[in-house]
Amino acid sequence: MWMLHFATMLPAFLLLFFMGTSIRLSEAMSRDEKNKLRNQVLEMFDHAYQNYMDHAYPADELMPLTCRGRVRGLEPSRGDIDDALGKFSLTLVDTLDTLALLNKTVEFEEAVRRVVTDVRLDNDIVVSVFETNIRVLGGLLGGHSMAVMLKESGRMQWYQDELLHMAKDLGLRLLPAFNTSSGLPYPRVNLRYGVRGPETRTGTETDTCTACAGTIILEFAALSRFTGDPTFEAHARRALDFLWEKRQRNSNLVGTTINIHSGEWVRRDSGVGAGIDSYYEYLMKAYILLGDDQFLQRFNTHYASIMKYISQPPLLLDVHIHKPLLPARTWMDSLLAFFPGLQVLKGDIRPAIETHEMLYQVTKKHNFLPEAFTTDFRVHWAQHPLRPEFAESTYFLYKATRDPYYLEVGRTILENLNRFARVPCGFAAMKDVRTGSHEDRMDSFFLAEMFKYLFLLFAEEEDLPFNVEDYVFTTEAHLLPLSLSTASNSQAPPVVNNVAGDELDDSNFEWTCPNTRLLFPDPAFPRNLREPIRSAVDKSCLRPTTHREPGMGRPPLRAQDFMANNPEHLELLRRMGVSLIHLKDGRVQLVQHATQAVSAVAAEDGMRFMQEMMELSSQQQKEQLPPRAVQIVSHPFFGRVVLTAGPAQFGMDLSKSSSGVRGYVTVAEPYNGCSELSNGEIVAGRIALLQRGQCMFAEKARHIQKAGAIGGIVIDDNEGSSSDTAPLFQMAGDGRNTDDVTLPLLFLFHKEGNILLEALKEYREAEVLLSDKARDRGTDGAEEEDCSTEEKGHTSPTSSEPVDQSQVTTQEQTTDDSVVGQEQVQSEEGLGSYVPVDAGEEPAVDGDSNSQSVDSLMADWQEDLEAFKQMEKDEL
């Protein structure tokens, strides 16, 4: 089965092409082979840990290329990354419970003694509240849990809760950060001086990320339960309550960055990756650890919205919280790799398998997950700091399915680490996964998380020193005992329900943590979910030359001739086993089932058609173009109405014209513009209005140009479509040379097109200006808008941010290319479908009753205008 996605709702083009080959089920890995891989994990851990102890300790981290420790202040600053370093032997503290889990009890006991003796927490240094909480406080609590477990088994009888005392000391040093009116913590704190006063060198920040404020509850609640002091848990709950209250009520999503004082969203993009990831994780795990139903309700509410708006299986794409159908990015970051593991805890296995498989294919293509990659699996940010999230999800999926396939995935992770990241003094982060170059860093989470999950993946139950089912993993993979849910804590504050005035809804209490042995009566089920996605990054096989099917009576359909609304073409597709499906999210799929073709030759024709469609897209794909403007300049609009239009990849480039193209509009006959115009004498010297469909955009342009038109506007035939809910079109050519097209051609969605058609109907004449951006009506298009207004603190409602060229991908003729056939879709940030140029001035009143309808129309769209103006300010 082959599948093409025409991504009419995605910010970049996605191709998933499914090939239904028959493969055998994953064979069970022998016990000896698992033991061999388990021992390999232990050897790799020893290599990393021992080199840290030999060359870096007591420094926070190892620099594996130069074989020395990274001491903050002595090495060149790396910016925010260094906020994790607090001169508290970070890697050793972060690794404590890993030593215990890997049965290295001697090394664990020695490490605990070193931490108790050597580590200081009162350094005059500014650190990240988030990183210090999950790595150091979590590390101390995880180490304490392991020490208590070993003491109960007869070892470490000398231990008297020293790590817990250090954890409480650190918790008290973090508490000043929570002294805000909202309860959200400052992002940084001085370990010695807090956040107030000049000596702190912090406390002036106003923004923090959602994950930074929402990833506190496990560590702080555990600290309260361990010590009997409710203060820590109370502060963490208050922060979570505030984030819940500030969620966008229509979409039930949260933004990425929030003002800690006002609670206003600073960045309104929402996803499951960087900036938000562990907020969702901690809602679920707080329910598991603490048994508070309110956390489960909140998680399920968010999860439903994630699956409705963000999940585009197998992708997870950021959206805007106030317009969740509008994509915010054309790429994904590697931190979202944790999400399949969280879905396993939720009990939603199918999308977990699908997303994990997509991540695995990206890993196989680049050896590691790049820090960010596009929807067609190309590198966006090339670094890879040895992140463990993919290994984490691999472990949880194996635990849920017992499918040996995930053992093979784990083997791939091990092999890649040894082949590409291993150096004499440890393991070095990848500076560029494309070139294999290294960076002189080995973050503490590599030891804290990566080796935990890989060891658990290959270990048998008897290999483990304790039952991991009795613990919950924090986001840093530290182990907190589930017994804390019943820990005596009489001083604990009562659970505050209905923070936002909501009543607990029983419908949000779905069963979680299912018995996975009952999920897969068919052992082939996980494989059947993975199989389609596996081909997404593979190159297509060349089709051997053969004869066409005689029964079809005509040449095979070529991709360059295909029109999705042509019944004859659809019939030809059916005979080739290709079907066209309209998805609920607005995408259109072309799916080929070779077995459904009328013959083997027809099936091969179908395969060639799919390949041609991909090649055609590669030829058509050019650099992303910014949107254009259709400005109605005639009476009674006078330039106040601007319609955001999609550009064409051919014809006149309006960005190179200082004045644009101005003229009166007229409807072409035929309206679809697919044949020579019958009203050519009327169209001559005017801008032709055309309906989308029936033929290629370039063909429409040629017909109106032949009739003497000075420009063209294509109006979508999909009733109800609007650029406020869908990305703008970028019209592609027809796969042939389009240099002969010299006039400008723009695209309007149905809603915006109707505004123009209604103006033409009402006033009989409508003059418009086609340009790269709206002109000030006072200058009549003669001058550019004053760009200095933004510097003065104002945002022009018609200005757009420059396209981030780092988000533009170059297509190659391979099967992992994104395909949209004849019509390509692009998403532009910060632009609405209707924008009044001078929003702060009332429209002129000229006595015409129809001017009232214009004013009314402008008023109806003010909310969208404000939303899009805010989006222009967002750092997307």
Tokens representing residue 391 in the block? 């290994």
Cβ atoms of 833 and 749 closer than 8 Å = yes
Cβ atoms of 193 and 127 closer than 8 Å: no
Selecting among 83, 207, 318, 371, the annotated active-site residue is 371
Q: Are 176 and 195 in contact (CB under 8 A)?
A: yes
Closest CA to 352 of 227, 185, 606, 525: 525
User: How many other CB atoms sit within 10 Å of the CB of residue 869?
Assistant: 18
What is the 3-state composition of the chain as percent helix, strand, coil, each rounded to the nearest 5?
40, 15, 45
Note the Cα 791 to chain centre separation in Å: 31
Residues 511, 347 contacting (CB under 8 angstroms): yes
CA distance 871 to 420: 40
Alpha helices in 688-803 (DSSP H): 697-706, 750-763, 788-791
Which of 61, 97, 131, 829 is flagged as catalytic?
Answer: 131
- What are the residues whose beta carbons fall under 8 Å from the beta carbon of 560, sequence distance 6 or more? 612, 616, 734, 735, 736
- Characterize the bridge pairing of strands 126-128 and 429-432: unpaired
Distance CA 594, CA 596 (A): 5
Measured at the alpha carbon of residue 730, what is the angle toward residues 729 and 735, in degrees to the nearest 5? 125
Length of the chain: 876
3-state secondary structure of 580: strand
11 in helix, strand or coil?
coil
Residue 126 forms beta bridges with which residues?
Answer: 190
Residue of 299, 323, 322, 324 whose CA lies nearest to 311:
324
Burial code (b: 16+ CB inside 10 Å, e: under 16) for 494-505 equals: eeeeeeeebeee
Query: Residue 623: helix, strand or coil by DSSP?
Result: coil
- Catalytic-labelled residue, pool 219, 318, 389, 403: 389
- Is 43 one of the annotated active-site residues of the chain? no
Assess contact for 14 and 375: CB atoms under 8 A: yes
Question: Residue 667: how many CB atoms within 10 A of its CB?
Answer: 18
Tell me, yes or no, if 277 is annotated catalytic: yes
DSSP string for residues in 424-439: TTEE-EEEETTTTEEE
Q: Give the E-state strand segments of 268-403 in sequence order.
A: 269-270, 311-312, 315-316, 319-320, 331-333, 372-374, 379-381
What is the residue type of 270? S
Question: CA dihedral in degrees (539, 544, 545, 546; nearest 10)?
Answer: -120
* Spatial CB neighbours of 867, under 8 Å, sequence gap ≥ 6: 322, 323, 832
For 758, the 3-state DSSP assignment is helix
Give one word for 667, left, alpha or beta, with left for phi > 0 and alpha for psi -120 to 50: beta
| DSSP E strand boundaries for 734-797 | 745-748, 767-771
Establish whether 371 is a catalytic residue. yes
* Nearest one of 620, 821, 817 to 738, comparing CA atoms: 620
The type of residue at 734 is D
Q: Whole-angstrom Cα distance, residue 541 to residue 767?
A: 52
Catalytic residue among 61, 277, 333, 449: 277
- Using the CB atoms, write b or e for 276-302: b if 16+ within 10 Å: bbbbbbbbbbbbbbbebebbbbbbbbb
Q: What element of type H or E holds 41?
A: helix 31-55
> Active-site positions?
131, 277, 371, 389
